[in-house]
Structure 1
Amino acid sequence: MARGTGDDTARSWVSRAIDLLLADRAAEPPTPLRAFPLAGPPGTALYLKDESRRPSGSLKHGPARDLFLDALRRGEIAPGTPLFEATSGNTAVAQAYFARLLGLPYTAVVPGRTGPAKRRRIEEQGGRCHAFDPPLAIYDKARSLAQESGGHFFDHLRRAGDAVDWNGPYGLGTAILRDLETSGEPAPAWIVVGVGSGVTSAAVGRYLRMRGAGTRLAVVDPENSAYFPGWAADFPGYTTGMPSRIEGIGRPRMEPAFDASVVDLVIPVPDVASVAAMRHLHAITGLMAGPSSGSCLWGAFHVLDRMRREGARGSVVMVVGDGGENYRDTYYDDSWTEAKGWRPHGPLSDLARFTATGTWDVAPAG
């Protein structure tokens, strides 16, 4: 083989891979923005930005693609590079989707207790799962597997914040404001999102600040998570040492991607309220979403009540992070939730009353 031929072939592959990802992004249809049927407060409206309609089923789809693009441009992924990540959630599903698109082997290092349903979602996208314990050691294990195989460890908790294209035409903040503008409506008064890695809130918040839209950003945070107490105390090193029980959001520490400077409000949400709200969302709209979306609905109701008390008008947009089909045997199952000590009857009554009358007498947790 002539000198340089192999390098040229690799560069050509990388260029084609980037073009393929960009073409895939351009061809993806926008996710829907749908109204939530709300009786009050007067002069307000609630919209659901349904990111569960992304090709891999969650709002992690876009950030996963951006991580691939960033690694390709940095020369960290080449033809045949084995890919690794440490997570069992939606990020792994989305990364497996793009690895298959590029024809690359993908392994998610998951905690040993990860159930078969979660592993199956990754495997259905062409990935494989490598179980490892203790759970907090999966990050070092994924890194070591990548080093041993000459592969690439995405390390999304550390790197996604810098990789996400938050101010481009395909960002979530861009899409929400564009959806409302297309409908002939002004920018929303608030956007409500969950926080796990911190990437989504940082991306949306930075776009809103750059755009100068006047829209405020609220973040919802479940029990055991560090974001609310860390944000309230202005202490980014805050840790709880306990895992979140709400799939998709909450962390025992404030992750590097979280940007507190672009967050206007963090709303602590009791876990039982998240469960009740996801079920209420399904009952009212027919949309079956995950528990993080329940957290967002609960937070959205708090924000709407705050607007009522302040005499403010406008719309609120909450983000639906993923679909609910994967939670039929857990968060939607009464026996499973009762075993967790969650009895959602009280919060369900609060949610129903607010939807019907605009009356919200629930004090924020924390």
Structure 2
Amino acid sequence: MTTPSAPATPPPLSALDDARLLDLARRTLDIEAQALLALRERQGAGFVAAVRAVLACTGRVVVMGMGKSGHVGRKIAATLASTGTPAFFVHPAEASHGDLGMIAPHDVVLAISNSGESDELVTLLPVLKRQGVRLIAITGRAGSTLAQHADHVLDSAVDQEACPLNLAPTASTTAQLALGDALAVALLDARGFREDDFARSHPGGSLGRKLLTHVRDVMRSGEAVPRVAPATSFTDLMREMSAKGLGAAAVVADDDQLLGIFTDGDLRRLIERGQDLRALTAEQVMTRSPRTVPDTVLAAEAAALMEAHRINNCLLVVDAQGRLVGALSANDLMRAKVI
């Protein structure tokens, strides 16, 4: 009986050649870049037909793939779903054991296999065809079983893998992933998918916060807003500013119409002029017609306004009738992760 040989012992880390490591990295990137450039030139009527098939679909895109192609498929499904094309991933092996019920006749199946002969996928093809499901294939072999059964074929063939043994899926999976991205981008453009649509799919991300958060969502309101009447004494004006901690106070009429604002900067300028502050009222020291922002605009727009005009304390918020409804500071915007 032959005893299996032990695996080769890897060289010690000190013996690794830095130049060779970098050479392998650059060679891998070169091979994959060349594969994508070649892929670009091969796209034509088949790609257009695949896009139109998805656009005509009244159901969802069901992405399938085994092994590394399956990992790529999960990413493609996620990208489609987040850019306006309802999609999800179904594992081909699980489909043979009940998950096939997740696929309806009005869906489109996007099947991914470099060889086009993955047993788990090939087994499903007759069932999918009987259901009348439209089938799009991403495969590296135009004559494969998968390609022959597909309604539309996206050619993902590569001349060689980046793996030095030409075995591990590397360039081929990069090609699959790039085709999936190309499909998603073409679809989102055809659907008129825009930034606010993307934000609704990503409410927890930074873009979602910037595109979905309005001033009214983050502003201070009610008693938290520093405000005084025009006849308020200078001493009481300063008490209000200190109590609310925004470095400013709004001056409003009885009906909350905004008349002006008094800020820390205004205080410094008065002191420099040597005025007797105790005899002054809020109306006498305020800055009239201050910059304001409507409560309906995006918080990101308010942040841009504050930056453009170097507003360091707070920005006053008004409604459509010019009544004071809130105040917004840079700290409020940072807490909301808008800036």
| Same fold flag (TM > 0.5) | no
TM-score, structure 2 as length reference: 0.22
TM-score, structure 1 as length reference: 0.21
- Which fold has the larger relative contact order, with Cα–Cα distance below 8 Å and residues 6 or more apart in sequence? 1
Max radius of gyration: which structure? 2
